[in-house]
């Protein structure tokens, strides 16, 4: 760091040691674009216990107060918590427009707060956000709340940085159908109708429950109601999924990112069902599809039935896979509970799965699986998070 006046690399060692003053100064260096600061931040280890929860949604729905309430809840559950609020940039100074607002009245020794300006980044996120998140994780924060300003369509980009996405809305901003058109409330893991004390909040929550099968939480951050239920749901979801696979030091500026080799073909489309046999009969009666194979995959807690047109055991256009959960806590069982029956994932075959995963990770793609796992039929598979695949869970299969 040739232009670092504050101690250079030693400062980042202080961050890893839990020094909060060092953390604040390191974030300032990263935000200021000091040479080498971002790379030094991204070189820090990311502890598995550190998880990021994204809060996003339209402006004015009370995300800041909800972040305050959740921070207090997580302190009681996990200890150290951080809140990173990405605010609109001031047109005059370029800084965080609301960076001086008071955000928390609880135990400030247990919660680290920081505002930063969006600086015209994608979907309202400054390009320095991944490095700042890594600094917060390395400093010992076990729960990191990433709050965005809310800029409209494209907010779902923030979900690619988080272990869990929470979409927040409120009554008075149009009905649930209007809100759903943006797509954010479909790809977020949890949905919150905040400001429950306002007229129309309960009706809006009820409308959302008819549009999606997953839970819809009704909260009042101002009064503190519903926050404990929401926080407990966040902890359950985090406990049921592995940490996001996060890449380390980013590629140097000006370098051409490595590109994964192209997919060979579509292998199958996966559909989550409650009864595999009944669903197979439905597709037989609809289109004459026949079962070509079935596998019980213990690691995924699922029974997989593959269907194809009669006489085509391996059709060039791809198979249909029916996924019936065999365990109550399996990913497919949780999918059915949140979203009901329907599309679960799309699978493509690739020539070199290990290399493809490394190339995707180097490009910042959010991976569910950092390394291949054994899937149906003993084939190696890995999953890409919907936040990096247009809202669709993507499976890659070794050819």
Which pLDDT tens digit goes with each residue over 314-338?
777 899 999 999 999 999 999 999 8
CA 313 to each of CA 125, 266, 302: distance values in angstroms, whole numbers, following the listed order? 47, 15, 21
Interatomic CA distance for residues 395 and 384, integer angstroms: 6
Residue 220's DSSP bridge partners are 225
What whole-number distance in Å separates Cα of residue 184 and Cα of residue 56?
Answer: 9
pLDDT one-digit tens code per residue, 18-54: 888 999 999 999 988 888 888 889 889 899 899 999 9
Query: For residues 213 and 309, which has the higher predicted lDDT (pLDDT)?
Result: 309
Q: How confident is the model at residue 206 (pLDDT cuts 50, 70, 90)?
A: confident
| 280 touches 291 (CB < 8 A) | yes
Q: Among all chains, which residue has been given the structure tokens 């994204």?
A: 54
pLDDT digits (tens, 9 = 90+) for 351-394: 889 888 888 877 778 889 989 999 988 899 999 999 888 889 99
CA distance 36 to 203: 51
- Percent helix, percent strand, percent coil in the chain, to nearest 5: 35, 25, 40
Given a contact cutoff of 8 angstroms between Cβ atoms, the answer to whether 165 and 155 are in contact is: no
Whether this prediction's pTM lies above 0.75 is answered by no
Q: What pLDDT does 185 receive?
A: 60
d(CA 220, CA 351): 50
Q: What tokens were used for 100?
A: 């001086």
User: What is the rounded distance in angstroms from the CA atom of residue 292 to the CA atom of residue 188?
Assistant: 35
Tell which residue, 153, 137, 140, 164, has the closest CA to residue 55.
164
Looking at mean pLDDT, say which of 153-157, 203-207, 245-249, 345-349 comes out highest: 345-349
């Amino acid at each position: 760091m040739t232009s670092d006046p504050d101690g250079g690399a030693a400062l980042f060692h202080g961050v890893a040691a839990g020094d909060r003053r060092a953390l604040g100064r390191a974030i300032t260096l990263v935000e200021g674009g000091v040479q080498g600061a971002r790379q030094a931040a991204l070189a820090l280890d990311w502890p598995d216990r550190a998880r990021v929860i994204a809060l996003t949604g339209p402006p004015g729905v009370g995300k800041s107060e909800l972040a305050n309430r959740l921070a207090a809840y997580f302190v009681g559950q996990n200890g150290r918590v951080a809140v990173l609020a990405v605010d609109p940039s001031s047109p005059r100074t370029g800084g965080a427009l609301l960076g001086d607002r008071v955000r928390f009245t609880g135990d400030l020794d247990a919660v680290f707060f920081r505002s930063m300006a969006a600086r015209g980044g994608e979907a309202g996120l400054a390009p320095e956000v991944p490095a700042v998140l890594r600094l917060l994780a390395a400093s010992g924060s076990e729960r990191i709340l990433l709050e965005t300003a809310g800029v409209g369509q494209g907010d779902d980009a923030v979900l690619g940085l988080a272990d869990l996405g929470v979409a927040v809305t409120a009554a008075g901003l149009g009905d649930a159908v209007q809100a759903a058109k943006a797509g954010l409330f479909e790809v977020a893991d949890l949905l919150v109708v905040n400001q429950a004390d306002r007229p129309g909040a309960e009706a809006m929550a009820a409308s959302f429950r008819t549009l999606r099968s997953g839970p819809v939480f009704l909260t009042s951050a101002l009064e503190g109601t519903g926050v404990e239920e929401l926080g407990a749901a966040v902890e359950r979801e985090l406990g049921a999924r592995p940490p996001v696979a996060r890449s380390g030091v980013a590629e140097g500026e000006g370098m051409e990112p490595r590109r994964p080799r192209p997919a060979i073909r579509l292998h199958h489309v996966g559909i989550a069902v409650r009864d595999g046999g009944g669903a197979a009969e439905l597709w037989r009666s609809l289109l004459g599809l026949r079962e070509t194979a079935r596998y019980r995959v213990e690691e995924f807690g699922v029974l997989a039935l593959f269907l194809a047109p009669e006489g085509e055991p391996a059709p060039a256009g791809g198979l249909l896979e029916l996924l019936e959960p065999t365990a109550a806590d399996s990913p497919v069982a949780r999918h059915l509970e949140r979203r009901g029956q329907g599309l679960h994932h799309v699978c493509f075959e690739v020539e070199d799965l290990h290399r493809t995963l490394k190339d995707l990770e180097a490009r910042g793609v959010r991976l569910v699986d950092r390394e291949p796992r054994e899937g149906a039929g003993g084939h190696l598979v890995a999953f890409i998070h919907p936040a990096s695949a247009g809202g669709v869970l993507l499976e890659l299969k070794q050819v």
